[in-house]
Each structure stands twice: as C-alpha cells, then as structure tokens.
Structure 1
C-alpha cells in the first residue's frame, strides 16, 4: 500500500495520544472481496501472505480482558513514538527497513488493513443487538469510499471478549457465534464502523475490469477500561443522529427484560428494512401504539418512571396476532411496501370494521384474505405510485378484499 494512504489513515483518527501502527498486505492480489461471515474454518495464522507495512509504535495491554482476547505485546513506555518509521516494502519497489520478526496479531495501537487480517485468518461478526444498518447511509458511504477510500478505521473487539461479557454475537449472515465456534480470538466483532465495513465488502464484490479493490482498516479500543456495550453507545451516539431504532437498541442493551422480550427483539430485527412507525403498528395493531423517542429514552433509565414506561412499551398482548398477519402478507408482498405505514394502518382499519368479532377471529379473517392473494395481485398494488399512493393502495386493498372475501 502506498505510504500516503497509510499517512491518511493515521491522520484521520485522534487516538488520544496513543501509539499507532498500520499493518497492511502490500500486494493487493490476496485481498478478498468480502469476508465470509459464516466460514468458521479459518485460514492458517502461520501463513505468510504478504509483507506488512508498519508505522511503529508501542504495544499496550489487551482491551476489556487482561487474560483473554487477542495476544498482545506489553511494553511499559509512557511516551508514544511521535515520529514513527515505516517498515516493509513500498509499492514503488524501494526497500524499506524491515523488522526481523513479523507480528501476525493485532494489538492496541495498531491500525490494521483488511488484507492483512484476511491473510492471517481473521474474520468478522457483529453484536446481535447492534443498531440496524441504514440503507441510505450505506449508499452514501459506498459513494464516499469509491471516491476517497476509507479515511477512518473501524473499532473492533474479539469474539471471546464479547462472549465473556455475556453478549450475543453473530456473523453478518445472522448465524450465531458461540463458545463452540473455532478461533474466537481471530473473529473480530465490529463495534463502530459497520457501514464502512459492509460498504467495502459490497464494493469489492462488484468490481469492474480495471478497478482496484478498496481497503478497510480496524483497531482495538484505545481505552481498555470501558465495557463493550458502553463502547457501542459512545461510538454511535454522535456519528449519526439516532433514530427510533437506535433508541430501541439502547433500551434492549440497558434492560435485561427488554433483551429477552420477543416483541422488542422482533421489532429491532425488522427496523433495518421497515419503517419505524410501520413496524410498531404491526406488533401493536394500534396507530397510537408507536412509542416516542422520549418514551424509549425514559424506559432505558433507572428511575421509577422507567419501569412504568417500559411496561407500556413492552406490552405484547397483540404481538402474536400482529406478527401472524404480517407473516401472511409477507408471503406475497415485498418488505418495501409492508414497511410503509399505510399498509398496517389498512389492516388496523379493517380490524376495526370487524370489531363485532372477537379479536382473534377478526385476525384469522385478515389472514385468510392474505392467503387468497397472488403475486400478480401484489405486483399491481406495489406498482402504485404518485402523491396519493397511500390512499390508492388502501383503495386497491379494499377492492381486493371485497372481491376475494365475498
């Protein structure tokens, strides 16, 4: 990797006076387009697949756990290296000073390239409770990286540290990472920078002829006394204004009951692709059941009002009914339209019309209607556009209901 790219990566992050190293596989030919999220058969860590480029600094202790996580070098030095030397071989062919012993492990103070990690058998996962990716933000990040590259690294911790902290972690395809998963010390869990990480994977998986692969960069927490969940909160609260999904995630992280509540977990899992309002309306079957940000914040607190607010938000009396109706329509309709609030609001309106029936019976009638719809019916509804789309979709659903439920 060219030296100016290394300097750019280092200069973009304030590492609180800490020592910095940058490791990268200089030859880009071994860079994989994306990390296989569920491949538990890690490549050998002994393989020497590329000369690392290092900006030399001092190693410190491991984050969160002194005895576990990645192996680290310990060197008691109070003053960081202010004018680091670059080690390795430059792309222009000029020889640089090289270290006699190559390090295959990530330590505090390192900024390490994706290619370096892949060549040494590392893979990536994420916290199960991390906030949903924002697709609009991801598109913008892809455009930015294509133009400028990754200008700041992603914060990671080891899978072992997460499991020891009692946290649920998953591969990027959703499969669980457990104590039975091999090589936990070589699975890096992305705490901050998931959009960057995923953007690089998507870019590298769809390169055209002549296009160069993009590097992503990673580092361990500089402050090793902060719990992982607090790292997540503090890393994300400022980078992008929080939305309703993020406040729900914060509630789930801070409340043990919330972390086990099936309804809240279902809502959180759907918020990546569905709108906030629509998702809550599906599980509450009530237009007034959508909790405000203020309530979500209050429920995550520790005072007396927090418990009362939490009970209101977590009321799942209609969850199974709403989820069953959603699942029935999801067999035919795309998530994109089910995530628009006018769809669950049409369902809520129809249930109100059937209020002469017991609630479960009315729900069965809606589910029966959904089962009679075809993909062709769904296509016609989904293609409705324009300023009056919401009303026109409701009219189309009414017409289909009257036709199929005679």
Structure 2
C-alpha cells in the first residue's frame, strides 16, 4: 500500500474483512485514527495504519514463528456475539455458578459445588508485608504484582509444573492476591466467597448480597477472553517454563497498559462526569471534539453487543443505587450512536459497578486482574503440555545492513 493514500470506510472494512460498523469500533478502541473527508461524506483512514492492523490481526504476512501464528486452545471460543468456556455459554455459567466453581472446573473439567479458595498463612503474610511497604499512591496492579512475587518466594515448591501442582498453586495464589490488598471497608464476617472478601478491599460501602453477587458475576465473566495481550504474555512465559507465579506476573505486566486492563477506569471517570453534569451529550461531545474515543463503547471481537456487558448490566439492575448510573451508561451509548453505532462493552459495565458502589476508578482494573488470573492459569496448563520454547518468533530485521564500521 502507498502510505500516503487515504481509504474510505468501505475500503477499510473490505481490507480487514469486517463490517463497516466494526471499523468504527476499532476507532473507539484507539486502534485506528479517522479523519473527516473534505467533502463531508464520511471518514477516511491512513492506509499504512490499516495495513499494520491487518498484520496484527493475523490476516497479513507474518514475521515468522509458527507457535505464535497457531496457538490451539480449548479454553475460550468467541463466536459472533457470544463466548464460551470449554464449549459452555460463559454468561450462563456466570449466572448459575460462583467464580471459584467456574475457575476450578476450567482447570480440572470437574465441577465441585461450593469450593472455596484459601490463602496459606505464610504466603499471605509475605504478600501483605510486601504490599504494605509500597508507597500509598501505588496502583492496584502494582500491589497485585508485588503480592504475586512475595507469595512465590514463600513457596519453595513453585517450580513443580505438574498439572496437579499448578492447580493447587492457583487455588492458593488467587485468594492470596485478594487478601493481600489493603482493606477499605469492614469485611463481612463469615463470607468465605472470593467476591465477598474482595468487596471491602474496593469500597467502604457495605456489600449486601446483591453487591457480592454482582461482583462475583463480574469476576466470572472476565475469567478468560481468548488470546488477549496479557494471555499471550502468559503463554510465552509458560512456554519458557516459568513457574505459575511468574506466569501470572507476566500477565499482570501486560495488563498494566492503558489499552487493556485500565480501560474501565476511563469509563468510570466519564460516568462520574455525566452524573455531575446531568447530561451525557455534553460529555460525549467533549470526547469527540478532542478526538478521543468515547470510553466503554465498541469491541473489535463483537460486531454487535458485548455479551459480558449485557450480562453484568442485568446483575447490576438489582444493586441499590444503580438506577441512575445504568441510565447514564445507556445515555452515553444512545448519544454516541447518533454519530457511530457502537455498543457498550464490559469496561462500561464495570464502571457502572464501581461508580454505584463508591469504588475508586481503578477498581475495575483490580476486578479484571483478579478474575483473569484463573484464565491465565488455564492457558498456562495448556502451554506446559506443549513443547517448551515454541513461542519464539523470528524478527524481520530492518536496520542498517552489515558490515559497518565500529561506532
């Protein structure tokens, strides 16, 4: 392609093999940049930027590395506007089962009703001590990453990569990450569910059954989503035979980027502004005027509605005080639809939860990270069963040709 060319929306859609509305979902997610056509008859796109997206999506030539081109996985299937864990509708699982039950079933293939995850005393003490040493302005992902490293040091058997050992590690690591976070509110006595223990670390408001259930559903819906950036990082680490704690640390490192786990924080701030100003129109207009995508809308894997968002919205409808926040989210979606048809994604639904419950803007990122740990372990288990070091792509060198003089 000529890098100076501009493409129409239709041409971009044909090049990417998607519908025109999906092109604008890419714009919303910051993966493409649009410019109004001088004639005012639509938008145009830079050809080289589109070509780069084609290569990232695997439709164009690859730089090599068969392991990265073809990663077979039996964890999650995304099909049109639905997604499935091991062939079972993920939203139905989230409605019927608890997070721990789904995670353990994902690892073992056997459902154990009522299973609870417990943090070992020594690992938890080490994780809490390490987290407490961080500066007060540390982010949630910083705390989780430090807690994972401290828990690893406290486990002398962490290098046992047998499937049973990895599953046992996962059942203790996830609650260690949660229980190592500093408390904001008063824990509910006797609530051993992971969601019940996570809630007071996110907000001072009392949970109530509706709150815990909504948080549990959010965790369940976010367990896995195929080969997202953090999951790919996890599989690369597992391919090098890193232990489970290091594998999770690799995922947390990738999740720390603003285009992945932190997206719900932007939606949280937007909803807060909508509620303060009393109108979504002015807030959406500010984003569009500044050339920024409206947070919480569109997803490149779902041409229609994000099933995770719709399921979580349903659970949030029963949460006290959620009505105005849900209305604000729907108003943002409807207002933006006048410009481009984009649907709410799970980041917007997480923002409704965090705003309603008086959580900080980064709470959605915390929920995302804790939830996704279960999916990372499922992918690590798959990768440990593959040939080691298969995730080794070949670079496409474009530097100066040798030989050259010493600098």
TM-score (norm 2): 0.20
Q: Which has the larger radius of gyration?
A: 1
Structure with the larger RCO, 1 or 2 (CA within 8 Å, 6+ apart): 2
TM-score (norm 1): 0.21
